[in-house]
Amino acid sequence: MASSVGGIPTTYHNQSDPNAASSRDFYTGLGLAISSSLFIGTSFIVKKKGLLRVAKRAGVRAGQGGYAYLKEWLWWAGMISMIVGEIANFSAYAFAPAILVTPLGALSVLVSAILSSYFLDEKQNLHGKVGCILSLIGSTVLVIHAPQEEEVDSIEELEAKLIEPGFIVYAVFVLLLAFILIWHFGPKYGKSNILVYIAICSLIGSLSVMGCKGIGIVLKQTLRGDSQIANPVAWGLIITVLTCATTQINYLNKALDIFNTSLVTPIYYVMFTLLTIIASAILFKEWKAMNAKDTIGAICGVLTIIFGVFLLHAFKNVKFSLKDLNLFPNPKKKIGRIQDGAEAMLMRNVETGGDEGDDDEEEETHFTTNHVNHT
């Protein structure tokens, strides 16, 4: 039903439908998004456990180009968990708005980090924890301020967008960069630099998400009675998704096999989210409607993500915890340390014969002062 308010046409949908239906859809999407994060976050840990079991059996590891993990049931359990999570995430978009579903994907990072500390004994220092939080906050801020995608209802509309110069340039750039990483940088630096394999997964993954959105449009159009089974574009989308997903899984396994899970998960999430938003913006022309507030918010989100990833990656080998900050020092302990230092100095003087003189007094004064300063 349409009406006019102040000369501006306004459209109202489903006014006869009670608010209960909208509320039910909202909570259905919310439940699917949360369950998706739980399944995906758990899948990282289960797959890592499977890869570790394969390594213990002296098989060729995934990071060395082996595929022995395909015979490990625990890895398949993790893979099934990830598939269920992705299906739940895909379904969530049909019920709840993207502004709700996409940020909730960050919960999978938290789930993975918590479970890895219990089941894989992978500890994060204070820098890693702060970096993880910053990465999630930045990704959430970026998604919140990103505009909604332009609605596409048919495969014909999607086909017209797929052949636009902007998306073609992006797709070619992603494929070229992925091939360079796979054939040149992967063999040389893949086992020492965590970003190589994760970059491959994220680049290819951004195209697979666009393919999944296209398949969703095909399914909706087919369910409305307009069958697209014979449409070559539909089959092209399916082949693209299968190829990208296979490549993505292969290199994600290599990254999980070589590097710490608590590092792989958040970095992969951040990079994958950024590239997916960029690909979706180019394909669906989302950024045309951005105002100044959303622009500033998006920039702040990107900068926060960069700082978070830097903390995660640059200080991963530094052993530093909240206790090392010494926010609430104990004065008694400090006095005890000074007294212990004085006793040690006296014992040293006794052992060396207790020489007298101005030089000795200056030496003792200097030693005491330095010790107090250090404590």
Q: Are the C-beta atoms of 273 and 301 separated by less than 8 Å? A: no
Tell me the β-bridge partners of 5: 8
CA distance 61 to 256: 11
Angle between helices 261-284 and 194-223 (to 10 degrees): 50
CB atoms within 10 A of CB 362: 10
Angle between helices 126-145 and 261-284 (to 10 degrees): 10
* Phi and psi at residue 3, to the nearest 5°: -145, 175
CA distance 161 to 194: 34
Residue 317 DSSP symbol: T
* Phi and psi at residue 124, to the nearest 5°: -105, 140
Tokens 């991963």, located at residue: 316
What lies within 8 Å, CB to CB, of 366 at 6+ separation is none
CA distance 256 to 263: 9
Could you state, in chain order, the average pLDDT of each consecutive group of 10 residues for the chain (375 residues)? 45 47 67 88 87 74 64 87 87 63 72 78 77 81 68 80 91 94 89 90 88 79 81 90 90 86 77 82 75 82 78 69 66 52 52 49 45 43
Q: Are the C-beta atoms of 372 and 334 separated by less than 8 Å? A: no
CA distance 53 to 29: 36
- What type of residue sits at position 323? K
Q: And the tokens for 20? A: 């209960």
pLDDT of residue 119: 81
Sign of CA dihedral 28, 31, 36, 316: positive
Strands (E), the chain: 2-5, 8-11
Q: Are the C-beta atoms of 54 and 72 separated by less than 8 Å? A: yes
pLDDT of residue 150: 54
pLDDT of residue 372: 39
CA distance 318 to 336: 29
Q: What is the pTM of this model?
A: 0.62
What lies within 8 Å, CB to CB, of 267 at 6+ separation is 135, 194, 195, 198, 309, 312, 313
What does the angle CA 224 – CA 225 – CA 230 come to, to the nearest 5 degrees? 115
